[in-house]
Amino acid sequence: MPVTGTLIGSASSVEQGEPIAFTYSTPPASVTPKNWVGLYADPGNGPVDQRYVGASTLWEYVPQASGAVSFGSGALGAGDYIAFYLSNDGYSWLADPVKFSVRPTPQTEPPVFRDAFGCEGRGPGQFAAPSGITVDARGQVWVADTGNDRVQAFSRDGRLVRVLAGRLKAPQAVAVDGGGNVYVADTGNNRVAQYAWWGGFVREFGAGKLDNPRGVAVDAAGRLVVSDTGHQRIARYDTRTGAELAAITEKVSSPQGITPDGAGGFWVAQNGRAASGSVAVVRYSAEGKVIGSIGYGQSSEFGGLSNPSDVAVNSTGDAYITVPDYCWVAQFRTAGPYRAEFGLDGKGTLSFPLGVAVDAQNRVFVADTGNNRIVHFGVS
């Protein structure tokens, strides 16, 4: 078959975890639903002679006459690769192949233990299975004290500031907007409860429509964003009117914790998607479209993301993801590459951590659920 199409790569070199994209085109006469782009090690088993030699490392169907296709490089080891644009589930070239390389991800020192506060109990400042956590504009740490049916707010050093209780049942997440309004994923009551900055109850969202909500955030436009876990969707509400807005279902699978991305959109931890098979944390635009992900194929020497619970993003492009199955926090670059994990030793050893939040100084707070405390990690 003569080569009549084109295949163009987005970069000649990417860091492990960063996406590699290709634009392709072929004449209409060559279009089939099973034209495909495959990535192979170079040199390796790619169809350099337009015949099968061995299996591709990654591949995707590209059924249009022209378009773009993107691959996450987290599943690729460091080295040289070659991409082929191939015809109809076969190995005839539709375009000249494109070579690129994958650079190893440099490891960085993870945040280190600074201090902790709280202990098991039902009294003020004590916890029973704390889960969701957030830090407001004043630096106060808000904790969904799930087993005690309340939310508690603390100063950064652990001094109790406020308690919200009496209307909540097993809350699992909390968010605070720029005006100090508090939104609680009131999981046991299948709703989101809103409180004023001083602690008074204001109203509820989603009563009778949400099922097992486990994450809550307020985006840059002031919309309430909720992980409607039982319905496998992201629900949204207008915080001014209370009106329900269009929900998001694209690439949603058991959504958990949510955090704003700082650019109008938000990240969602999804523990229905294991790192070995698909994306684990998904980034959405303000319009609700998927614009990125982290976790696919990423792992340390100990393992990858298994049922991630929550995600927090700092101002320098780091994402922190709680992995209760492994009792650690995984650190990624928001562009994709895996960095490190922490919470594995010393005074900062974690047990089934669920919630994570980052403050304006990039200090990391973790709901150490199994130990009924909040742990503060800082960057050296």
- Who's near 11: CB < 8 A, 6+ residues apart? 20, 100
What are the DSSP calls for 306-364, one per residue? Answer: SS--EEEE-TTSEEEEEETTTTEEEEEETTS-EEEEE-SSGGG--SS--EEEE-TT--E
Query: Is residue 295 within 8 Å of 278, Cβ to Cβ?
Result: no
Lowest pLDDT segment from 38-47, 166-175, 287-296, 323-332? 287-296
Query: Is residue 112 within 8 Å of 104, Cβ to Cβ?
Result: no
The per-residue pLDDT for range 331-368, each reduced to its tens digit, is 988 877 788 899 999 999 999 999 999 999 999 999 99
Distance of alpha carbon 310 from alpha carbon 329, whole angstroms:
10
Lowest pLDDT segment from 48-57, 248-257, 277-286? 277-286
Lowest pLDDT segment from 61-75, 145-159, 272-286, 309-323? 272-286
Distances (CA, A) of 327 to 68, 119, 121, 190, 371: 38, 18, 22, 28, 11
Structure tokens given for 345: 């030793």
pLDDT at 232: 94
**Better-scored residue on pLDDT, 51 or 334:** 51
> What average pLDDT does the segment 74-82 reach?
87
> What average pLDDT does the segment 95-104 reach?
95
Residue 379 has pLDDT above 90, yes or no: no
pLDDT at 358: 97
The per-residue pLDDT for range 171-215, each reduced to its tens digit, is 999 999 999 999 999 999 999 999 998 899 999 999 999 999 999
pLDDT at 333: 85
Q: How confident is the model at residue 161 (pLDDT cuts 50, 70, 90)?
A: very high
- Who's near 367: CB < 8 A, 6+ residues apart? 130, 131, 132, 133, 143, 144, 310, 322, 353, 354, 355, 356, 374
Looking at residue 109, what DSSP letter applies? P
Distance of alpha carbon 209 from alpha carbon 343, whole angstroms:
37
> What average pLDDT does the segment 230-259 reach?
95
Q: Which of 129, 39, 124 is nearest to 352 (CA)?
A: 129
Residue 275 has pLDDT above 60, yes or no: no
The per-residue pLDDT for range 11-31, each reduced to its tens digit, is 999 988 788 999 999 999 999
Q: How confident is the model at residue 279 (pLDDT cuts 50, 70, 90)?
A: low
Looking at residue 369, what DSSP letter applies? G
The percentage of the chain sitting over the pLDDT mark of 70, rounded to a whole number, equals 95
Residue 276 has pLDDT above 60, yes or no: no
Q: How confident is the model at residue 296 (pLDDT cuts 50, 70, 90)?
A: low
The per-residue pLDDT for range 137-152, each reduced to its tens digit, is 999 999 999 999 999 9
Query: Is residue 227 within 8 Å of 253, Cβ to Cβ?
Result: no
pLDDT at 1: 58
> What average pLDDT does the segment 75-90 reach?
93
pLDDT at 351: 98
Can you tell me which residue has the tokens 């909040």? 374
pLDDT at 138: 94
Residue 110 has pLDDT above 70, yes or no: yes
The percentage of the chain sitting over the pLDDT mark of 90, rounded to a whole number, equals 77
Distance of alpha carbon 262 from alpha carbon 265, whole angstroms:
7
Distance of alpha carbon 174 from alpha carbon 310, whole angstroms:
12
Distance of alpha carbon 270 from alpha carbon 40, whole angstroms:
29
pLDDT at 301: 46
pTM > 0.75:
yes
Q: Which of 82, 79, 70 is nearest to 104 (CA)?
A: 79
Q: Which of 87, 118, 108 is nearest to 3 (CA)?
A: 87
Q: Which of 11, 9, 13 is nearest to 24 (CA)?
A: 9
